[in-house]
Amino acid sequence: MKKKRISITDIANALQVTPSTVSRALNGGGKVSEKKRLEIISLAKKLGYRPNPIAKSLLANRTQTIGLILPEFTHHFYSRVLAGIESITSKAGYQLLICTSNENQNQEIKSTLTLLDARVDGILATISKMNDKFEHIQEVMDSGTPLVLVDRFSEEIETPYVISDDFKGAFSAVDYLCQIGCKNILHIKGPDNLSTTFNRFMGYKEALRKHNMPLKEELVLESSDPKLVEKIRLCLTRHQVDGAFTYSDYLAFEIYKLASQLKIQIPEELSVIGYADEPISTYISPTLSTVNQQPFEMGAMSARYLLNKINDPEVALEVKNLETKLMIRESCKVVETQS
Amino acid sequence: MKKKRISITDIANALQVTPSTVSRALNGGGKVSEKKRLEIISLAKKLGYRPNPIAKSLLANRTQTIGLILPEFTHHFYSRVLAGIESITSKAGYQLLICTSNENQNQEIKSTLTLLDARVDGILATISKMNDKFEHIQEVMDSGTPLVLVDRFSEEIETPYVISDDFKGAFSAVDYLCQIGCKNILHIKGPDNLSTTFNRFMGYKEALRKHNMPLKEELVLESSDPKLVEKIRLCLTRHQVDGAFTYSDYLAFEIYKLASQLKIQIPEELSVIGYADEPISTYISPTLSTVNQQPFEMGAMSARYLLNKINDPEVALEVKNLETKLMIRESCKVVETQS
DNA sequence: CTATATTGGTCAAACGTTTGACCTAGGGAG
DNA sequence: CTCCCTAGGTCAAACGTTTGACCAATATAG
């Protein structure tokens, strides 16, 4: 049974004053003699008084809580985003109410409702991959609850968001592959209708263009393709592929497997760059070159942004595009004289 | 600015009844005519009424919230624990208030206070590695807030906990190594004064005993040893080590690296088993045998246990020891005729 | 026809805190 | 001495909800 915690009225009764006086003594609102103030404070300390945030919330209509919706925790990326968010919110004295959508839009909608019901002061959310409904997002905005989207956004709805600069990230990777002399660069695209998929593909195309290399349809594959493995194999054997840039690190590992089967040496015959900088990249052999999205910073930045919005509703609608970092490791061949 | 949400009194005023009637109509507490009931319900729906849990909490002295303290999120293990917890609590209609200790006891103490202040209905916590203070744990227990420790515990304080059966987990791994004929089995221990370190070591010893193999001091190393890498190298070269069981998967990868340097073939010359079943284990080559601790189940079990305690304070103090699963992969040599 | 039970509701307190309005006693100015 | 100011407090409302006590009207039993 939860023990009753001592309240401001308990102190008031013990000292023959009113709760108001105790409140003012504790919060420094004047109107209380120095003597009484000290008396109250010392008794409060002695009894281990701790204010009840629930009562405060009810009155103030703010909960010092921010809601977070993430698709899942198991990818390293989201763990880092979460850590980044936590680092900021905990310092600012906010609690974190966390929900998972499991990449399922219905759960996402449910979570949104839950958070709204809980009267969180703001919401950070990564919308699920498959998203075609936006009523719940609209509802959040209508409710006046500050909202910042993280990592993914949709053009269907005008919200502030913080994302990684996928275009530049992809561009830098493919640009690098070109620089070290790759002539046939394979790209494996991510899930459809995700802005990240689109932007990374654009970055790939732009880098090719910069180096006056043609875009070859047959070198662009889709991760959702059930025959993906077959098609990669085909690419590697028929099209003299000497470079690969994949939507994710895990897709890069698929290439590792096939290369090993086909006795293709990485990086001597094939340079590979993945995306996301999962920790596994540095443990696998050869260590995988990849694009780091600074997820911790992304989380921290979203949280800072949201806190700003909470404290000043007039803060401008903004879009933050976070720089990526190209991590070159053993999976890219080394050239002596770099162009 | 957060929009005022419509309250039970708003409905009451609109319909010329008292808030009590509305409350009873909505919660089915009788004492309201069918006609009025329908009227109230339909207006509530129309206005999008949603009860304010904060007001309820204040009255009921329960928040439908459970507090969670984890050391960090970035290890896959804790992500899975978190996912397991979330799967249970969300179904049961509880919110999750999450804090990180960063393996730092002071932060852990601060988090505990925060959760207590927030009046959570129960706490799930993984205490940090270095722990010598228990006043905060005691304070939780004194407050009457149900508490369940997860993954780690301390004998200094009598709390219920859910852990993985490290002894059996380690035993099964080393037992397997013995069965496939390993004669000199290296063990790398984990951080000092962690119960998991101790129990896995005990499992190692017990398995050796079962197979009548002597415990060789020189084959037991400490992960915290600054000269660890040197010592592993020494073991591998001098002591005819043909099996290795490590406290973590990552330590196993250290062995992979050294084996590769020393041209020792895994698994032909050296069979390796790690611990934790990090996803990377299946991506690395050769895929790593390891001990799966069922972290998702651990989280789920802790959450179920805590919910029981919350609903019935008389529930017995118990200790749950979760079964592990030995995952045999490519890093263990295959023998035709198994003893 | 009276006593009683039932139905359908109202009232007010309670949860813990904050805060504006109000009160009172004492001190200083005129 | 009266008037006003101020320091130091009290009172009550408010936040949104639940709930036990109460009450009036109607129906039922005897």
B76-90 pLDDT, tens digit each:
999 999 999 999 999
Strand pairing report for A325-327 and A290-292: antiparallel
Would the CB atoms of A90 and B100 count as touching at under 8 Å? yes
Question: Position B205: which residue type?
Answer: K
Instruction: Say if residue B339's pLDDT is above 70.
Output: no
Q: What is the mean pLDDT of residues B7-36?
A: 91
CA distance A334 to A268: 9
Instruction: Calculate the average pLDDT of chain A.
Output: 94
In this structure, whether the domain defined by A166-293 belongs to CATH 3.40.50.2300 is answered with yes
Task: Please check whether residue A290 is in contact with residue A133, taking contact to mean a CB–CB distance below 8 angstroms.
Answer: no
What nucleotide is nearest B60 when CA is compared to C1'?
C15
Which pLDDT band holds residue B327 (cuts at 50, 70, 90)?
very high
Contact state of B3 with A57 under an 8 Å Cβ cutoff: no
- pLDDT for residue A193 is more than 90: no
The pTM is what?
0.92
Q: Cα B165 to the chain's mean position, in Å?
A: 13
Preceding peptide of A214 cis, ω within 30°: no
CATH 1.10.260.40 positions along chain B are 8-51
The DSSP call for residue A327 is E
Q: What mean pLDDT do residues B101-115 have? A: 95
Provide the pLDDT confidence category of residue A337 given band limits of 50, 70 and 90.
Answer: low
Q: Which residue would you say has higher pLDDT here, A314 or B122? A: B122
**Summary mean pLDDT of chain B:** 94
Residue A313 — pLDDT band, cuts 50, 70, 90? confident
Dihedral over Cα of B249, B255, B257, B260: its sign: negative
Decide if A61 touches B, using CB distance below 8 A.
yes
pLDDT (0 to 100) of residue B284:
86
Mean pLDDT, range B41-61, rounded to an integer = 96
CATH class of B8-51: mainly alpha
Of chain A, the end-to-end C-alpha distance in Å amounts to: 73
The answer to whether the CB of A149 falls within 8 A of the CB of A159 is yes
pLDDT for residue B192: 87
pLDDT digits (tens, 9 = 90+) for B236-261: 999 889 999 999 999 999 999 999 89
A271 contacts chain B (CB < 8 A): no
Q: What are residue B123's phi and psi, to 5 degrees?
A: -130, 135
User: Can you list the pairs that B222-226 forms with residues at least 24 positions away whose Cβ atoms lie under 8 Å?
Assistant: B222/B188, B222/B189, B222/B192, B223/B188, B223/B189, B223/B190, B223/B191, B223/B247, B223/B248, B223/B251, B224/B191, B224/B192
Answer yes or no: are the C-beta atoms of A169 and A206 closer than 8 Å: no
> Would you place residue A132 in the very low, low, confident or very high pLDDT band (cuts 50, 70, 90)?
confident
Residue A131's pLDDT band (boundaries 50, 70, 90)?
Answer: confident
Taking residues B7-30, what's their average pLDDT?
92
Q: A63-164+295-322 in CATH: which number?
A: 3.40.50.2300
Helix (H) or strand (E) holding B299, with range, is: helix B295-311
pLDDT at A1 over 80: no
State how far the Cα of B166 lies from the Cα of B291, in Å rounded to an integer. Answer: 9
In angstroms, what separates the C-alpha of A145 from chain B's closest C-alpha? 6
B203 Cβ neighbours under 8 A, 6+ residues apart:
B166, B167, B168, B169, B170, B171, B172, B173, B174
Task: Name the nucleotide with the smallest C1'–CA separation from A35.
Answer: D8
**The predicted structure's pLDDT at residue A315:** 81
- CA B25 to C1' D23, in angstroms, rounded, equals 20
Q: For CATH 3.40.50.2300, list the domain ranges present in chain B.
A: 63-164+295-322, 166-293
* pLDDT for the residue numbered B131: 82
Q: How confident is the model at residue B155 (pLDDT cuts 50, 70, 90)?
A: confident
Tell me which of A338 and B243 has the higher pLDDT: B243
CA distances from B48 to A113, A143, A233, B93, B339 (A): 12, 12, 55, 20, 69
- Of B288, B275, B284, the C-alpha closest to A279 is B284
pLDDT at A153 over 60: yes
Q: For chain B, how long is the longest CA-to-CA vector?
A: 90
Query: In the predicted model, what is the mean pLDDT of residues B17-26?
Result: 94
How many alpha carbons lie under 13 Å from residue B76 in its C-beta half-sphere? 17
Provide, in whole angstroms, the distance separating residue B31's CA from nucleotide C5's C1'.
15
- Look at B100 and A117 and tell me if their CB atoms are within 8 Å: no
| pLDDT (0 to 100) of residue B29 | 74
* Residue ranges in chain A assigned as alpha helix (H): 8-15, 19-27, 34-47, 53-60, 76-91, 105-117, 135-143, 166-179, 195-210, 228-238, 249-261, 295-311
Q: Quick check: B104 contacting A, CB < 8 Å?
A: no
What percent of chain B lies above the pLDDT cut of 90?
A: 83
Residue with tokens 């397991």: B84
Looking at residues B274-285, what average pLDDT do you find? Answer: 91
Model confidence at B337: pLDDT above 80: no
What is the DSSP secondary-structure string of A242-304? -EEEESSHHHHHHHHHHHHHTT--TTTT-EEE-SS--GGGGTSSSPPBEEE--HHHHHHHHHH
What integer pLDDT is reported at residue A12 of this predicted model?
A: 95
Quote the pLDDT of residue B332.
98
Prior bond to B191 cis, omega within 30? no
The packing angle between helices A195-210 and A166-179, to 10°, is 30
